[in-house]
A and B are shown apart, each in its own frame.
Chain A
Amino acid sequence: GAVVSQHPSRVICKSGTSVKIECRSLDFQATTMFWYRQFPKKSLMLMATSNEGSKATYEQGVEKDKFLINHASLTLSTLTVTSAHPEDSSFYICSARWHGRPGNEQFFGPGTRLTVL
């Protein structure tokens, strides 16, 4: 149980295009999903917290208009990188918190490698 998937696993796009990344909880409902960014050989940096049916809460320094987050259902959150540029190239990871389960454990997806040319 507690499987989180991401799609796509890898994407290469041209500068200026927008890219959508999906995060799904496959066997549980997630009221809260989190989006992280990870640079090579670095730690995970929280970008935003996404709550189902409400606006995402962004961490300081993360541009809301650049990284659009939608959490339309209890099993799906999407991150759209708008007008992507090479500096947006990174490993994007989502996680989900199991609704109704005690504790604050987060279950992580496998990540999406974004390369902007």
Chain B
Amino acid sequence: EAQVTQNPRYLITVTGKKLTVTCSQNMNHEYMSWYRQDPGLGLRQIYYSMNVEVTDKGDVPEGYKVSRKEKRNFPLILESPSPNQTSLYFCASKRTGLNQQFFGPGTRLTVL
């Protein structure tokens, strides 16, 4: 089944404790992206990747890192999480030349 997966789906952590949220897609998509969703603010892009080893900042990249060593994986790294990073995170992917983005199931992160 073609899909985007994220792990973990739920995470409660404490300030300053490094964490990684994984994202994987099995559709051989070149483009992958991370969004955060906060009440009343919609979806805001954190980072995106056009292909392996190519990443770029979105609208709200501060406090986040990403890597794209393989085509299928695009992990989101929070080196020192803070409470303002408490949010619902979505990974998405798409094929180059096509418009539709496919979203993962989301990761709800709480930073205490």
Q: Are A and B subunits of one complex?
A: no
